[in-house]
Chain A
Amino acid sequence: MPKYAALIYSVEGEATPEEWAAVMAGYNEFGEKAGAAGVILGGEALEDTHTATTVHVDGKGGQIHTTDGPFAETKEALGGFYLLDCKDLDEAIHWAAQIPGAWHGRVEVRPLIEFNEGE
């Protein structure tokens, strides 16, 4: 069976708790339905783009350049992703800088939203 990534784009901004609850209810509903159908292999929510760091390296093993904020798409297109389990942002940047995309293009590092138990 072929596998697909479903990449979610949405408008960022301050949501009221009610708006946030409504959005979450929608995702829970989808999660239950698609989960029951057995099509979800995994999924995560990302923190907003203000928490992003874009990493670029001058060739393999070269100088690491980091910039605040998300990757501003130009001619490069999203080509893949890794989920990294690191102790902090420095470790995440350390590994991100070794992904070939960091010198062929850019790697955007963004924290996942950590949902508390019971939510």
Chain B
Amino acid sequence: MSLDEVLRREGGQVLATLVRLTGDIGLAEDALQEAVIVAHSKWTDDDMPDNPVAWLTTAARNKALDRIRREARRTDKEREAVALLDQQLAVEPNEPTDLLRLLFTCCHPALSQEAQTALALRTLCGMTTTEIAAAFLVQDSTMGQRISRAKKKIATAQIPYRVPEDHELPDRLPGVLEVLYLVFTTGHHSAEGSLDSRVDLAAEAIRLCRMLVDLMPDEAEVRGLLALMLASHARRRARIADDGSMVLLADQDRSLWDRAMIDEATMLVERSLRRRGAGEYRIQAAIACLHGLAATFEETDWNQIAELYRMLERVRPTPVVRVNRAVAEAHVAGPERGLELLEGVTGVDNWHLFWSAKADFLRRLDRRDAAADAYRRALDCDMNETDRSFLEGRLASVV
């Protein structure tokens, strides 16, 4: 394994241990960076340390200690950190709790969700500020400021570096899952450029979620989220044609789907659905798996999918869920039922998928003028180029 690979796979773990030891994310990042520079000059392919993670952790810990000692003006907190670091001579780098602590600190509800997402990607996935800025379509400087303010708030307001107690988890875990899912969807369905221009982010979200499943094996919603990501990610290659255009679920070449990934997702869902009280991620994962298990589009179990969407709407009554439910029910009961379900949905004027669903129902009812109007409304919204060219094609087919 090269140094870059070690950092990619284990960098989050090393950083998490350092944050525990120093109590300061900024200091931990700087110290790790200094240790990496030393590693770059010392490590060669033939001469790697036996345990690169332990090597990096110890080297970075010593750098952090040097720095705290060097700084002339020491606050009480830093004095405490020195005392702590002195005590902890034996570093235990493979303590998975460190990763959980860091994840919960990054996703603390006193931080904005944007800051939570950016911090998690930066500290746990080792992404650079530039990479994160590009993924969320903001300027480098904006993202840099967002991350540094969040770090400052953690330090100044003393957001604790700890895993919430069991009784706090119902309040804290959903926020963490939301951040992971946001990272995934940002990668899976890019808002700009081509549909899969940020697919690396989706892979990072899956990596983080796998880690969370290992760390919290009893949380059914965590497994549900992993299953949802896997079942969606399994279809990524079939979504886009060679010319970059979007391929609808109905027209996808199902041999391009990643079977192993769908099987893993299905196994996770079956295990987690046995638990009482289905959560939103488990339900969505079950829907994604039903799509994944249908050998052809015609064999899709729309009855069960529509039922799952009705369940989902009870747990999470949002316009997005309503629109998806309408699409599923239209497959069972026809496009009129779909239109009926879209009536009275509010707050979706700027969401292209609402208009395209409505347009599709109208098109299937052969109400071409109304369909054309709805496609035009859809095209007035912001969307990526893949979606746009698809909708332009549909509009042309009804006028």
Residues of A at the B interface (CB closer than 8 Å) are 47, 50-53, 64, 66-69, 87-90, 93, 109-111, 114, 116
Contact B75 A50 (CB under 8 A): no
Contact A53 B157 (CB under 8 A): yes
A89, A93, A114, A116 — which one has the most chain B CB atoms within 10 A of its CB? Answer: A89
A sample of 13 cross-chain residue pairs with beta-carbon separation below 8 angstroms, ordered by A number, consists of: A51-B153, A66-B110, A68-B110, A68-B153, A69-B112, A89-B157, A89-B159, A89-B160, A90-B159, A109-B157, A110-B157, A116-B73, A116-B76
Contact B157 A90 (CB under 8 A): no
**B152-208, CB < 8 A from A:** 152-153, 156-160, 171
Q: Roughly how many angstroms separate A72 CA and B198 CA in the complex, as a whole number?
A: 35
Q: Roughly how many angstroms separate A51 CA and B152 CA in the complex, as a whole number?
A: 7
| List of A residues within 8 angstroms of B110 by Cβ | 53, 66, 68, 89, 93
User: Total A-B pairs in contact (CB under 8 Å)?
Assistant: 45
Q: Mostly helix, strand, loop or mixed at chain B's interface?
A: loop
Contact-residue bracket for chain B? 10 to 19
Closest to B149 in A: A50
**B92-136, CB < 8 A from A:** 108-112, 115
| List of A residues within 8 angstroms of B152 by Cβ | 50-51
| List of A residues within 8 angstroms of B160 by Cβ | 87-90
| List of B residues within 8 angstroms of A50 by Cβ | 149, 152-153
| List of B residues within 8 angstroms of A51 by Cβ | 152-153, 156-157
| List of B residues within 8 angstroms of A52 by Cβ | 157
Q: Roughly how many angstroms separate A47 CA and B155 CA in the complex, as a whole number?
A: 11
Among A64, A67, A87, A111, the residue within 8 A (CB) of B157 is A111
Q: Roughly how many angstroms separate A114 CA and B76 CA in the complex, as a whole number?
A: 10
Contact B109 A66 (CB under 8 A): yes
| List of B residues within 8 angstroms of A64 by Cβ | 171
| List of B residues within 8 angstroms of A90 by Cβ | 159-160
Residues of B at the A interface (CB closer than 8 Å) are 73, 75-76, 108-112, 115, 149, 152-153, 156-160, 171
B23 to chain A, nearest CB (A): 11
| List of A residues within 8 angstroms of B115 by Cβ | 68
| List of B residues within 8 angstroms of A68 by Cβ | 110-112, 115, 153
Q: Roughly how many angstroms separate A66 CA and B156 CA in the complex, as a whole number?
A: 17
| List of B residues within 8 angstroms of A109 by Cβ | 157
| List of B residues within 8 angstroms of A53 by Cβ | 110, 157
Closest to A93 in B: B110
Q: Roughly how many angstroms separate A111 CA and B115 CA in the complex, as a whole number?
A: 19
| List of A residues within 8 angstroms of B112 by Cβ | 67-69
Among A66, A89, A116, the residue within 8 A (CB) of B158 is A89
Closest to B156 in A: A51
Q: Roughly how many angstroms separate A109 CA and B152 CA in the complex, as a whole number?
A: 15
| List of B residues within 8 angstroms of A110 by Cβ | 157
Closest to A116 in B: B75
| List of A residues within 8 angstroms of B109 by Cβ | 66
A106 to chain B, nearest CB (A): 14
B366 to chain A, nearest CB (A): 48
Q: Roughly how many angstroms separate A44 CA and B157 CA in the complex, as a whole number?
A: 15
Q: A-B pairs with the 3 shortest C-beta distances?
A: A53-B110, A88-B160, A68-B112
B54 to chain A, nearest CB (A): 30
Q: Roughly how many angstroms separate A69 CA and B109 CA in the complex, as a whole number?
A: 11
Among B76, B153, B159, the residue within 8 A (CB) of A88 is B159
| List of A residues within 8 angstroms of B159 by Cβ | 88-90
B189 to chain A, nearest CB (A): 26
Closest to B75 in A: A116
Q: Roughly how many angstroms separate A73 CA and B309 CA in the complex, as a whole number?
A: 40
A58 to chain B, nearest CB (A): 13
B82 to chain A, nearest CB (A): 15
Q: Roughly how many angstroms separate A93 CA and B109 CA in the complex, as a whole number?
A: 11
B105 to chain A, nearest CB (A): 11
Q: Roughly how many angstroms separate A64 CA and B109 CA in the complex, as a whole number?
A: 10
| List of A residues within 8 angstroms of B156 by Cβ | 47, 51, 111
B76, B109, B171 — which one has the most chain A CB atoms within 10 A of its CB? Answer: B109
A22 to chain B, nearest CB (A): 20
* Given A52-B157, A87-B160, A109-B157, 17 other A-B residues pairs in contact with their CB atoms under 8 A: A47-B157, A50-B149, A51-B152, A51-B153, A66-B109, A68-B153, A69-B112, A89-B110, A89-B158, A89-B159, A110-B157, A111-B156, A111-B157, A114-B75, A116-B73, A116-B75, A116-B76
Closest to B77 in A: A114
B142 to chain A, nearest CB (A): 14
| List of A residues within 8 angstroms of B73 by Cβ | 116
Q: Roughly how many angstroms separate A114 CA and B146 CA in the complex, as a whole number?
A: 24
Closest to B114 in A: A68
| List of B residues within 8 angstroms of A89 by Cβ | 108, 110, 157-160
| List of B residues within 8 angstroms of A87 by Cβ | 160
